[in-house]
Amino acid sequence: MFVFLVSVHLRMNLSIPPLIAGDKIAIVAPAKSIEQHLVLEAKDILENSGYEVVLGPHVFGVHHYYSGTVEERLIDFQSALDDPTIKAVLCARGGYGCIHIVDLINWSSLIRQPKWVIGFSDVTVFHQRIQRLGIQSVHGTMPLNFGDNSKESFSTLWEALAHKEYVIKTTAHPENKLGIATGRLVGGNLSILYSLLGTDDQIDYTDTILFVEEVGEQLYAIDRMLHSFKKAGVLDKIKGLIVGGMSDLKDTAVPIGTTLEEIVLHHFQYKKTPICFGFPAGHINDNRALRLGAHASLDVTDLGATLTVHGG
């Protein structure tokens, strides 16, 4: 029955009710462990913003690198999905570990009662699965980063969760590729997207605006990932590319001789795809929220780029 439900909903766009004051948000830790004080500080911020907060039973857990065993992390996430009173599931942090439970989760509860799943970095694993189910989710800040985030990180998060139309503008970047694109907004962490190419969690990239961000990678690894996207046909399908925070990138002892922008542009040199560099989202303090799966418009001009995430 579950397989049938998934096959049906892959072709649908299931609507999530807008998050409103008084709604209940669950904080769970599906990957790396997190310090207790960061979760409690995030809880205070959310409650002061008008929401009720429920903490997963193992959110403060530590099991080696992880917040718990596979079973404990699964229980917390599944319970949050299954609880009809919870309207949003906020992942406490990324790291590594979401891949351990993505195939163990029974997603039928999310299909029956769509709710928001929020996070970034390793949480991209969940975003890809949720996109495959025809449901929107939010690439946005997590409790690990709440204390360092810009006010725009939160204002765009509330707008995204409320299903509002909102706009994110960037300043001009000398390497931007000008143009206009419309399509479904998709993406997340580049290395996670790369790791899911050719798997049952690769989404359909046709007519999409692809957002990517990364942290701590070698420049040559970025190039290798983009080669894989090109060979998989992804770069021929997307309508626009948004390059977010590319933090703490590394070069080899003998430099490879190209910049990040040169690497990206090389893969699009014969395409008219508009490209925005320096977009404020990712492993950076100004981590604006993106409602993945939403219809969006990207306009890249000499003055900068404008991303409009449409409501509904």
- Report helix, strand or coil for 190: helix
The answer to whether 87 and 19 are in contact (CB under 8 A) is: yes
pLDDT of residue 59: 98
Architecture of domain 166-309: 3-Layer(bba) Sandwich (3.50)
Output the pLDDT for position 6.
42
Q: What is the mean pLDDT of residues 72-91?
A: 98
Q: What is the mean pLDDT of residues 8-37?
A: 86
The pLDDT tens digits for 108-140 are 999 999 999 999 999 999 999 999 999 999 999
| Architecture of the CATH domain 2-148 | 3-Layer(aba) Sandwich (3.40)
Element (H, E) at 235: helix 234-237
Over range 50-75, report the average pLDDT: 98
Report pTM.
0.95
Give Cβ neighbours of residue 265 (< 8 Å, ≥ 6 apart).
175, 177, 275
Length of the chain: 312
In this prediction, residues 17-28 reach a mean pLDDT of: 97
Write out pLDDT tens, residues 208-261: 999 999 999 999 999 999 999 999 999 999 999 999 999 999 999 999 999 999
Q: Is the pLDDT of residue 8 over 70?
A: no
In single-letter form, the type of residue at position 237 comes to: K
Tell me the per-residue pLDDT of 171-215, one tens digit each, with 9 for 90 and over: 999 999 999 999 999 999 999 999 999 999 999 999 999 999 999
pLDDT surpassing 50 at residue 292 = yes
Determine the average pLDDT of the residues in 61-80. 98
3-state secondary structure of 66: strand
Confidence grade of residue 11 (pLDDT, cut at 50, 70, 90): very low
Tell me the C-alpha distance between 246 and 183, whole Å.
23
Q: What percent of the chain has pLDDT over 90?
A: 95
CB proximity list for 286: less than 8 A, separation 6 or greater: 149, 150, 152, 153, 280
In which element (H, E) is residue 72 found? helix 70-82
Using H for helix, E for strand and C for coil, what is the string for 32-61?
ECCCHHHHHHHHHHHHHCCCEEEECCCCCC
The residues spanned by each domain of the chain are 2-148, 166-309
What is the band of 14 on the pLDDT scale with cuts at 50, 70, 90? confident
